[in-house]
Amino acid sequence: MHTAVMSGVEMSEAARDADFSAYMAARQAALLRTAFLLTGDLAAAEDLVQSAFAKLYLSWDKVQNRESLDGYVRRIMINENNSLWRRAWKRSEVTTAVMPDRPVTDEYDEGRVAAVWELVRSLPRKQRAVIVLRYYEHLSEAEIAHTLGVSTGTVKSQASRALAALRERVPDALISGEEER
């Protein structure tokens, strides 16, 4: 029986791969939900997450602060989504799949939540990114500004514009349904 002995470099690569795999397994579902909210399409969201993980893997050794990995991956996803949007990639097929499962902590009426997120998906991409990061990822204005690479003033103005647009677009059925509760 022959036993393989790993060199220090191979052990380092194996440890790196194990760390990356553990991070990916732990965060993939949550990042997929965020990507879905950014893209509005499950297939595009899966591609976006896969692309973000590929870019993260290439720079895994360069990431000094493991505490801020989620912010780094979100930034990659937003940049990739913006690049795809700018190229005006035409999809010949639109999936009708439902949004991936939400975290257990969300306890809202499914119909209303779906209707609200449909409205959010109709926002311009920058406003949509701010709303997703603020109300879905629960990031502060400073964290959103850091993730998007903009000032907190820009985050505030984009959020204000997005919320004003959503208020104008909210169907009366959603508003009157809240009064019944």
pLDDT for 173 equals 52
Does 51 reside within a domain? yes
pLDDT for 5 equals 45
Which carries the bigger pLDDT value, residue 97 or residue 52?
52
Q: How many structural domains does the chain have?
A: 2
In three-state form (DSSP H/G/I as H, E/B as E, the rest C), the secondary structure along the chain is CCCCCCCHHHHHHHHHHHHHHHHHHHHHHHHHHHHHHHHCCHHHHHHHHHHHHHHHHHCHHHCCCHHHHHHHHHHHHHHHHHHHHHCCCCCCCCCCCCCCCCCCCCCCCHHHHHHHHHHHHCCCHHHHHHHHHHHHCCCCHHHHHHHHCCCHHHHHHHHHHHHHHHHHHCCHHHHHHHHHC
Which carries the bigger pLDDT value, residue 161 or residue 179?
161
Here the CATH number for the domain that contains residue 83 is 1.10.1740
Mean pLDDT of the chain, nearest integer: 79
pLDDT for 85 equals 62
Check whether residue 125 and residue 71 sit in a common domain: no
Domain boundary among 92, 121, 141: 92
Does 103 reside within a domain? no
Residue 42 has pLDDT above 80, yes or no: yes
Domain that includes residue 32, residue range: 9-92
Does 98 reside within a domain? no
